[in-house]
Copies of this chain bind each other. A is one copy, B any other.
Amino acid sequence: MPAVPVPPELGDFLSRPNPAVVATLRPDGSPHTVPTWYDWEDGRVLLNMDESRLRLRFMRRDPRAALTVLDEGSWYSHVSLLGRVVSIEDDPDLADIDRLAVRYTGSPFRRRDSRRVSAWLEPERWHGWSGAGPLR
């Protein structure tokens, strides 16, 4: 699996509001997966969660995580990022979840009484596939 940095053309792909699935580690070390919104900025991934989410608890305990991003047009094109969460911070004014909601839906996040938390995932390795073969 190639190390970072991710090639620029994959950065273009990651910059689009694609479906994604994030994997974290449960306390027993087994994997947990769930779909997620994300954004891509300067080689890192922004995630944002309601403060009640299990995966937030998992990330605080063990920062290792992986994200698979599927092309919204055809999920046979995809890029996966393996790395660790390097920052977890409250999002008190909902700026980050609004950023993601606007990116994916065109509108700010609806639940204004939410308590949200942002996490930044820094990839260390990546792998991907497009059309007939692996990306390099």
Chain A interface residues toward B at CB < 8 A:
1, 19, 21, 23-26, 29-35, 54, 64-68, 70, 75-76, 78, 80, 82, 127, 129
Provide the residues of chain B in CB contact with A64, threshold 8 Å: 29-31
Picked from B21, B24, B31, the residue with its CB within 8 Å of the CB of A24 is B31
**Chain copies in the assembled complex:** 2
Main secondary structure of the interface of A (DSSP, over half): strand
Contact of B34 with A127 in the complex, beta carbons under 8 Å: yes
Chain B: CB-nearest residue to A64: B30
Provide the residues of chain B in CB contact with A54, threshold 8 Å: 1
Provide the residues of chain B in CB contact with A23, threshold 8 Å: 23, 31-33, 66
Provide the residues of chain B in CB contact with A26, threshold 8 Å: 82
Picked from B25, B32, B68, the residue with its CB within 8 Å of the CB of A35 is B68
Contact of B82 with A31 in the complex, beta carbons under 8 Å: yes
Provide the residues of chain B in CB contact with A35, threshold 8 Å: 68, 70, 75-76, 78, 129
